[in-house]
Structure 1
Amino acid sequence: MELIAMAAALLSIALLLSNLASILLAARRLKPPRGMAAPVGRTPPVSIVIPSRGIEPFTAETLQRTFTLDWPRYELIFCVAHADDPVVKLINRAIARFPNVPARLLVGDDRVSANPKLNNCVKGWEAARHHWVILADSNVLMPRDYIHKLMAAWRSDTGLVCSTPVGSRPAGFWAEVECAFLNTLQARWQYAGEALGLGFAQGKSMLWNKPMLDANGGIRALAAEIAEDAAATKLVNGIGLRVHLVASPFEQPLGERRLGEIWSRQARWARLRRVTFPLFFAPEILTGAAVPLVLALVAAAHVGISLPATTLCVLALAYLPECALAWANGWHLSPRTVAAMIVRDAMLPAIWARGWLGGAVDWRGNAMTIGTKVAELEETPSSA
């Protein structure tokens, strides 16, 4: 019994220490957002390709931000799959409102993969006029120095620069839970991985050197995996280059969220990670506070230590450093943040288990069965 208690206690401590180490590694890589810095050095022209679908609560604001970037020369290429998409009217109005910014709207669906976003991007990539191309999701809230921050992260060994999404403006508790997933869990581990030389691409904002990617198969090469960011990671690493992250990630305003939405999104991402990077996905069950808490309670029960006191101690060791990381970087914090983190970590084992199972998942109105690296995609009506 004592051996079981000791083993459980040591493993719990080890997991809590690895959690703290990841926070410290991420903190070293992250720089808190500051006021806009003037671009220095070369400022080459840039093409920004933005795949769009449907209207979300912050679409008008994120759309306007794309036209007010502080960069001497850039073009915007908006891509939609269908001409009757309601976002088309908003995009056309924005293009008319900002005539000084070169912008186009392209309509069509190039079925190069089972990834609907990648299919939507192909026409934009092929129409891009400049050697530097950013693939940016339509719900990224771009700061004025958006391009500058991406370009500043490019180094001699870089093949791709990305930014993870940082959740902001949550409305309601479940949006707080999504912030807890996006910010101090997923963004934190991604920055910690980059600090250890394990940079992984993130599809929210991706800065490419177009001649480099075109020489290695072009955007269609990203169809090699069901997730374009997984394919990008493997392609870049395969040619001896690295994925780097911006010093300060960009916001994704959330608004209201429902539990079902969070589950669907996290289950899809888990399944994609399981299929594309199984060796990295397997230990994800050990992230969060659930496993170290269970182990600590097992140890405490065997030696007669108060279980409530043990629970409070483990949660404090897990969540106070997370809150400190969020505070230091200006990420969302509220009186409900710790409760949201607890709910997040309670969901993690179920999400991890779901990642090992087959079955259909939803990708913005597309029913997708992800069984292997090859997925089946069947479009269904969407309310997005």
Structure 2
Amino acid sequence: MSEQYYVVQVGLSTAVLTWYGIIWSIGLLGCWTARTRYRSPRSPSFPSTLPSSTPGVSILRPLKGLDINLSENLESSFKQDYPSFEILFSIADEEDEALPVVRELISEYPNVNARVIIGDEEVGANPKVNNLMRSYNEATYDILWVLDSNVSVAPGTLTRAVAMLIGPSASQAIPPQRRIALVHHVPFAISNEASFGTQVEEAFLNTNHAKMYIAINAVAVDSCVMGKSNLFRRSDLERLDGTLVRQQHHESKNSRRGRGLAAFGRFIAEDQMIGLALWHELDLRHGLSCDVAYNALGAMNLSDYIRRRIRWIRVRKHMILLATLLEPFTESVMLGAITATSLRFLTGISFWMFLPAHFLLWTLVDLDVYASLAGHPLPRVKWQSFLVAWVVRELLAFPIWLLAMVGNEVEWRGRRYRVLRNGEGERVLPKASVDRLLALL
């Protein structure tokens, strides 16, 4: 081995070990933050930070079809122990199967201000945004809480989220801080499904995803938002246009894309773009609540899981390319393999001494994150199936990433889209539809 090659090898191996330490630091930060944030007792239902006259909140719930546990998910909105709120159910089609479920709940809770808004407004490729537009425009209150239909929340969730959103104000904070413009909740997957894809998704969301999501938000160097449960002000959204350019530099110009929620209809991941826009255009920050968003998972086979992961990696690579390129090197298998190789070169420690300790500690940290979010350790009856699903998830992470990086088309709720620059999307018509369209021209 030449001296120059040896020096390069030493440099690369040292860099790998440094990276290994960084990733472990992030993982441990996520684990520790999960313990302190979610294992501590929740604040009272009406904390002292709320003013005497609490601001009203409009809860927006976009619906399409019969999601798993739909009635229980939607009912959790009616059970919020908050003094002033309304619920707006957004349904694009009056023949939608979710409509009877909603009407039954409204009749069961006559004292709750809830109504159905039927019909969408097409402002872009994103069907969720299109579905929400009428509810967004007709909402009574400035504070909006957008909750996906497969999410349920605890009764005190809204009160604690509003308390985080409105106080203490940035001017009262010591040292002064940017105002919180968005409060979100980490998803925690719940499922009684025996289908293997669902088990793999549950293992992913409740361990590695939650760990990294919590850690990134604890560091708070940039926006990291998932749209299962988001609370923000409509007045803030009305100042955004999705360009991610700081407002003082371009607010005098008329945006060709418009402002408000409609400006985000062109993006596939509108939730992430709204978070980025609040962060970069208005220089505001986010708050991760001490409550979780219970995400009910339906039946998925392994192919469904793989397609789902490919979809969001393909969207993310057009939004945050560098982080997406680095993603394989944050996963346990790839990171363990390159670290074991580097450690062997530098110290002579064998693979079989390092890798078992690496995977054991990684698993224990992930299970600790699960216990923090669930409020209890992994049940014994789930140990075998959960750990098998966890192992499969880890082994599939790199192959899925490779598949995602070589394409730009995704499937979402039965429709195909092409992901464009900055995460924008355009509908891709099936070949038969294209042929029919050309025949009409």
Check whether TM > 0.5.
yes
Work out the CA distance in 2 between the residues paired with 1:174 and 1:158.
Answer: 36
Choose from 140, 153, 157 the match for 1:146. Answer: 157
1:236-264 CA distance string (max 9 Å, x none): 12111112211232211225331122112
Decide whether the 8 Å contact of 1:113 with 1:226 is kept in 2: no
Aligned ranges 1:202-217 → 2 under 5 Å: 202-216=226-240, 217=259
Give the direction of change, closer, same or farther, for the CA distance of 1:210–1:242 in structure 2 (3 Å limit): same
Report the aligned-residue RMSD: 2.6
The residue that corresponds to 1:32 in the other structure is 38
For 1:324, the aligned partner's letter is D
Gaps of 5+ in 1: none
**Offset of 1:224 from its aligned partner?**
5.3
1:195 and 2:218 equivalent? yes
What SS class does the counterpart of residue 151 from structure 2 fall into? coil
Give the direction of change, closer, same or farther, for the CA distance of 1:67–1:117 in structure 2 (3 Å limit): same
Choose from 275, 278, 286 the match for 1:236. Answer: 278
1:309-342 CA distance string (max 9 Å, x none): 4431221132212212222332673413333222
Decide whether the 8 Å contact of 2:57 with 2:86 is kept in 1: yes
Decide whether the 8 Å contact of 1:46 with 1:130 is kept in 2: yes
Aligned ranges 1:112-123 → 2 under 5 Å: 112-123=123-134
Aligned ranges 1:266-281 → 2 under 5 Å: 266-281=309-324
Decide whether the 8 Å contact of 1:139 with 1:252 is kept in 2: yes
Decide whether the 8 Å contact of 2:68 with 2:150 is kept in 1: no
1:106 and 2:117 equivalent? yes
The residue that corresponds to 1:76 in the other structure is 87
**Offset of 1:5 from its aligned partner?**
8.0
**Offset of 1:375 from its aligned partner?**
1.6
**Offset of 1:170 from its aligned partner?**
4.6
Give the direction of change, closer, same or farther, for the CA distance of 1:15–1:318 in structure 2 (3 Å limit): farther
For 2:383, the aligned partner's letter is P
1:66-103 CA distance string (max 9 Å, x none): 21111111110001111111111111111112111111
The residue that corresponds to 1:325 in the other structure is 369
Q: Name whichever of 127-136 and 323-332 sits farther off.
A: 323-332
Gaps of 5+ in 2: 171-178, 241-258, 431-441
Work out the CA distance in 1 between the residues paired with 2:398 and 2:81.
Answer: 43
- TM-score normalised by the chain length of structure 2: 0.78
The residue that corresponds to 1:226 in the other structure is 268
Decide whether the 8 Å contact of 1:163 with 1:205 is kept in 2: yes
Give the direction of change, closer, same or farther, for the CA distance of 1:108–1:295 in structure 2 (3 Å limit): same
1:132 and 2:143 equivalent? yes
The residue that corresponds to 2:411 in the other structure is 362
Aligned length: 380
The residue that corresponds to 1:164 in the other structure is 186
Decide whether the 8 Å contact of 1:79 with 1:105 is kept in 2: yes
Q: Name whichever of 151-160 and 9-18 sits farther off.
A: 9-18
Decide whether the 8 Å contact of 2:119 with 2:131 is kept in 1: yes
- TM-score normalised by the chain length of structure 1: 0.89
Give the direction of change, closer, same or farther, for the CA distance of 1:200–1:307 in structure 2 (3 Å limit): closer
The residue that corresponds to 2:25 in the other structure is 21
Work out the CA distance in 1 between the residues paired with 2:361 and 2:236.
Answer: 45
What SS class does the counterpart of residue 246 from structure 1 fall into? strand
What SS class does the counterpart of residue 202 from structure 1 fall into? coil
Work out the CA distance in 2 between the residues paired with 1:296 and 1:277.
Answer: 25
